[in-house]
Chains A and B, each alone.
Chain A
Amino acid sequence: MRQNGMIIGIGNTLRRDDGVGPLLAERLAALLVARGMPVQWLATQQLTPDLAEVIAEAAPVALCFVDAAAGGAAVTITPVVCSVDSATTGSHTLGPSLLLYLARQLYGWSGPAWLVQAPASDFAHGEGFSPTTQQVLDQAGALADQLNTLMATG
């Protein structure tokens, strides 16, 4: 039996393209489950320290963050390196690398992780997406195939 993966969608669903993180996370989770990988997903407006404990309790075999990225033309998938990101050590929110650091240092979880970034350009109030961002959602199947391989192999 394949082990669980975990997807965390980041963004505000009321700020147009910024909402792509939660929606794409949900969509990818459903697609990965359909491909035989049990996946737990959750949505958050920002990464907070308590998510380290959530990750550790779920103990996923692999983790994937999904977020909007201003600019850019295509979706990217990059490995997340566990590190102390000094740019986000002082505020109420964390970056993915710092969250991984917390999960490892405090709870001993140290699986592989990736960051999926969807191109985004419209952060106005409201729902719906710009054409480029919508295209990423429409092509979630191909993205799920890539993640299925990455998350299964670590």
Chain B
Amino acid sequence: MSKTIIIDPVTRIEGHAKITVQLDDDGHVADARFHVVEFRGFEKFCEGRSFWEMPGITARICGICPVSHLMASAKAGDAILGVAIPPTAAKLRRLMNWAQLVQSHALSFFHLSGPDLLMGMDSDPAKRNVMGLIEKYPDVARNGIRLRRFGQKVISLLGGQSIHPSWTVPGGVREPLSDENRSVIRRMLPEALDITGLALDMLKDALGDYRDEETMYGNFPSLFMGLVTPEGGLEHYDGMLRMVDSDGNVLEPGIAPARYREIIGEAVEPWTYLKFPFYKPLALRGRGGGELPPDYYQAGMYRVGPLARLNICDFAGTPRADAELREFRRMAPRGKLVTNSFHYHYARLIEIMFCLERIAETVEDPSITNDRVRSHAAVNSLVGIGVSEAPRGTLFHEYHVNEDGILQRVNLVVATGNNNLAMNRTVKQIAQFHINGHKIDEGVLNRIEHGIRLYDPCLSCSTHAVGHMPMILELVGPDGELLDRCVRDA
């Protein structure tokens, strides 16, 4: 008789979710599903609004990564206006986007995943949280706060506030960077770089303790997608979309982001609000024109975010990040990609280093305080697509407007959604490794949660949803009987 396990809520992620694990007749894990159980409907209620409002509206999707939505939305607005924004405005947007990556990655690494990494997956759950971290490793906790605050401060200096700054607009940005604020950023950088260097050393020292996790926390072949510069460098704001497989074969060397629909499809399932984006050419290969099987899209699974970005780029483009990237790539066989999702943590830290180095370069650019930061125009295109790299991965905003700029249709493909297939695969892999029988314990619960947390999912963004994130784990038999259930409140 098969059984199902349900984990509900999933903790230390943003949003609401639960996990079910289906057992077969022999008590082995047959399948696992990551259910996102919240819904907000931004795509629908934005219809009828002006595209000028969209950066401000879509930034409200999330309090953790509003800047990412600001970037993609403003870029979609640029496309509707049909303008090239002033070079200084593009640099300032990049500056804010790098700061956003720093603050978000710092939160994920130090405070959401840090307790598991430093205190051990099997440590006392009552202590394995940010409070336990503070008691045992106060310096690490302080460094996390400090690094996150650096990112928040840069965002605030540019945009006037750290959460939901209404600074990025179609055509550019509202305000230039003052000399005084540039100096403030300069002064904060050395400490941020030191903290990041220390964190990288700490993580690399600890990797030897996590060989099991490296082996089965999302260790499978998949595609990887993200933006790269025209030269193939690490990119977070603009550039071209690249898709690479685990063997290093480049399937899409550099497609214009506005053509994303040519390669990305979106599937839905009745058991989750989170869509399943997939790589169409692979999912549809050899299918002909006949009816597709229900799971056809799973062949198009890809991963996005820090791990994907480091996998698809040819180089980072800054000295310390490039040195770290070379070391990172030595974890995979020559020519292959790093396929273990456990290394999202490592990739996150390398990206922080990269962003800090880029910020350091950019604040020394003499043109960065130029006051020409906005292009003005009316509606020149009825479709605008804006794509940027959010901390969790590639973010797409697609707007269709009428001649007055009123939205007729909106499509958002959000970073966390891009990882949906991979998150489900990761949950199944961990469950298969750790669950054998009809009972679940705290250790299994935490390992499955950590598997999800690797992707640092933001469900508020990806379902455009409200609230925070609890978790249920349910164990269900083949006949649907509930065998065991673990519930954890947010």
A: residues with CB less than 8 A from B are 14, 44-46, 49-50, 52-53, 84, 86-87, 89-93, 98, 101-102, 105-107
Partner of B149, one of A50, A89, A102: A50
Most chain B beta-carbon contacts within 10 A, residue among A46, A89, A90, A98: A90
Given contacts A50-B148, A50-B152, A91-B12, A106 and B142 within 8 Å (CB-CB): yes
Partner of B11, one of A50, A91, A106, A107: A91
A79 to B490 CA separation, bound complex (whole angstroms):
24
B203 at interface, CB cutoff 8 A: no
- In contact, B145 and A91 (Cβ under 8 angstroms): no
- In contact, A52 and B60 (Cβ under 8 angstroms): no
Cβ contacts B47-62/A at 8 Å (1 or 0 each): 0000000000000100
Q: Which residues of the other chain, A, contact B131 by a CB distance below 8 angstroms?
A: 84, 89, 98, 101
A87 to B488 CA separation, bound complex (whole angstroms):
10
B140: min CB distance to chain A, Å: 10
- In contact, A91 and B163 (Cβ under 8 angstroms): no
A10 to B360 CA separation, bound complex (whole angstroms):
33
Q: Which residues of the other chain, A, contact B152 by a CB distance below 8 angstroms?
A: 50
Q: Which residues of the other chain, B, contact A53 by a CB distance below 8 angstroms?
A: 142, 145-146, 149
B328: min CB distance to chain A, Å: 27
- In contact, B138 and A105 (Cβ under 8 angstroms): yes
B: residues with CB less than 8 A from A are 11-12, 14, 60, 63-64, 107, 111-112, 126, 129-131, 134-135, 138, 141-142, 144-146, 148-149, 152, 163-164, 468-469, 489-490
Q: List 12 A-B contacts (CB under 8 A).
A: A44-B163, A49-B111, A50-B148, A53-B146, A87-B489, A89-B129, A89-B130, A92-B63, A92-B112, A101-B131, A102-B145, A105-B135
Partner of B134, one of A86, A87, A102: A102
Q: Which residues of the other chain, B, contact A98 by a CB distance below 8 angstroms?
A: 131
A109 to B75 CA separation, bound complex (whole angstroms):
43
Q: Which residues of the other chain, B, contact A106 by a CB distance below 8 angstroms?
A: 134, 138, 141-142, 145
A106 to B60 CA separation, bound complex (whole angstroms):
31
Task: Count A-B pairs with CB separation below 8 Å.
Answer: 59
A44 to B63 CA separation, bound complex (whole angstroms):
11
A110: min CB distance to chain B, Å: 15
A49 to B147 CA separation, bound complex (whole angstroms):
11
Q: Which residues of the other chain, B, contact A105 by a CB distance below 8 angstroms?
A: 134-135, 138
Q: Which 7 interchain pairs have the tightest Cβ spacing?
A: A90-B11, A50-B149, A89-B129, A84-B131, A90-B12, A91-B468, A50-B145
B487: min CB distance to chain A, Å: 14
Q: Which residues of the other chain, A, contact B138 by a CB distance below 8 angstroms?
A: 105-106
Q: Which residue of A lies closest to B9 (CB)?
A: A90
Q: Which residue of A lies closest to B112 (CB)?
A: A92
Q: Which residues of the other chain, A, contact B145 by a CB distance below 8 angstroms?
A: 49-50, 52-53, 102, 106
Most chain B beta-carbon contacts within 10 A, residue among A53, A87, A89, A92: A92
- In contact, A49 and B60 (Cβ under 8 angstroms): no
Q: Which residues of the other chain, A, contact B107 by a CB distance below 8 angstroms?
A: 92
- In contact, A14 and B60 (Cβ under 8 angstroms): yes
Q: Which residues of the other chain, A, contact B164 by a CB distance below 8 angstroms?
A: 45
Q: Which residues of the other chain, B, contact A89 by a CB distance below 8 angstroms?
A: 129-131
B383: min CB distance to chain A, Å: 28
